[in-house]
Amino acid sequence: MRKTIEELSLDIPVFQAPMAGTSTPALAAAVANAGGLGALGLGAASVETAAKMIAETSAMTGGPINLNFFCHKPMELREEVARDWIARSQSRFERFEAAPPNELHEIYQSFVVNQAMFELLLESAPAVASFHFGLPAADKLAALRDRGIMLIASALSLEDARRVEAAGIDAVVAQGWSAGGHRGLIDENGPDERLDTEALTRLLAKNLSIPVIAAGGLMDGADVRASLSWGAEAAQLGTAFIGCPETAADDGFRARLAEGGKTVMTRAISGRPARCLDNEFTRWTADVSDAEVPAYPYTYDLGKALNAAAKAKGEPGYGAQWAGSEAARARFLPAAELMQALMEEFEAAEADVA
């Protein structure tokens, strides 16, 4: 028996997007306490940090929480690509009186090979576990299902969504082209159809028998309501929550978000395509080809080092400022107030439709 979204007993079909580096226990708890699904993005966390974040969240809420992991295929680093990438960054580091790293490291492991993280997830038994960039092996999925955990995975095409459904996953996140953060492509070098959120949601809802969660560019309660009319059972909102004081977004990220919110797709920060606010990093790397960028997450090792060097000299524009293309509509409210506003807008939109 597949788990259903109704079993989560939400007051409003809003899933706070898991956002590695940005979502926090305080945000997840506030959203869950306000009747939505809270989430922790643990894709880049160590097992120790993940355990701490899970415990902190449980201490603040008994509501439903989604723990999210990256299931990318571990990639080989090509030495010559890494060498050229490091050399290319030399002058940029020098601007901030720093030096680039001598070599690039795999700064975090994929969930598919991280046995200790899998055991932590099994032991934590959250209401929901979700996967981005791919899926864990069938035996792991079976063990998680036996623990009563609802399983969710992202898909950007009908083909990937069918793979998700065939693996016995309970629901699929339809991640539209406007979505902030990393594209959840299973093969990051494969074709990207760039379907917008409405088109992808309608396509998956029509062709799959599992629930679809719409994600990408959904910013208010009317958008959540609209996503249900496309066939979604819930909406996953990321960018809408970045401005909440509970997130880990730094002042530079918040300021850039407030400035107008132009976004671009870039592979140069982490090694995988992701939608980011237009900033100094994306402008510096605007002309690089995919072939020049080292594998994920090795590229992120240099990206994070450059951001740290720039920040130390007062330049906030080199961060991984992931955001969706509707970022201009972001609000800067405490999560409980934002949830209240989403609820009121959702109800008003429902009344309009009736």
Ligand X SMILES: Cc1cc2nc3c(=O)[nH]c(=O)nc-3n(C[C@H](O)[C@H](O)[C@H](O)COP(=O)(O)O)c2cc1C
Q: Which residues are near ligand X by CB under 6 A? A: 17-20, 22, 41, 43, 68, 132, 154, 175, 178-181, 215-218, 236-240, 242, 322-324, 326
* Nearest Cα residue to 41 out of 24, 60, 58: 24
Residue (35 or 41) nearer to ligand X, CB: 41
Q: Taking the complex as a whole, how short is the minimal distance between the CB of residue 43 and ligand X, in angstroms? A: 5
Of residues 238 and 271, the one with the C-beta less far from ligand X: 238
User: Which CB atom, from 61 or from 154, has the smaller least distance to ligand X?
Assistant: 154
Q: Which is nearer to ligand X, 165 or 220 (CB)?
A: 220
Q: How far is the CB of 324 from ligand X (least distance, A)?
A: 2
Question: 3-state DSSP call for residue 162?
Answer: helix
**Burial classification of residue 91, based on how many CB atoms lie within 10 Å of its CB (0-12 exposed, 13-18 middle, 19 or more buried):** exposed
What SS3 class is residue 263?
Answer: strand
In the beta sheet, which residues pair with residue 110? Answer: none
Going from the C-alpha of 280 to that of each of 95, 174, 321, the distances in angstroms are: 13, 30, 11
Q: How far is the CB of 260 from ligand X (least distance, A)?
A: 15
Which is it for strands 14-16 and 128-132: parallel, antiparallel or unpaired? unpaired
Degrees, nearest 5: CA angle 330-273-238: 25
Give the residue from 261, 161, 279 showing the smallest Cα distance to 210. Answer: 161
Instruction: Show the DSSP H helices in the chain as ranges.
Output: 25-33, 47-60, 79-95, 115-124, 138-146, 158-166, 197-207, 221-229, 239-242, 251-258, 280-284, 298-312, 335-353
Nearer to ligand X, 86 or 169 (CB): 169
- Minimum distance from CB of 220 to ligand X (Å)? 11
CB of 239 to ligand X, least distance (A): 3
Residue 244 or 309: the one with the smaller Cβ distance to ligand X is: 244
Which of residues 82 and 165 has its CB atom nearest to ligand X in the complex? 165
CB of 53 to ligand X, least distance (A): 12
Question: Smallest gap, in angstroms, from Cβ of residue 180 to ligand X?
Answer: 3
In angstroms, the CA 285 to CA 303 distance is 11
Letter string b/e over residues 15-41, b meaning 16 or more CB atoms within 10 A of that residue's CB: bbbbbbbbbbbbbbbbbbbbbbbbbbb
Taking the complex as a whole, how short is the minimal distance between the CB of residue 175 and ligand X, in angstroms?
Answer: 4
For ligand X, which is the closer residue by CB, 180 or 294?
180
Closest CA to 309 of 85, 103, 90, 93: 93
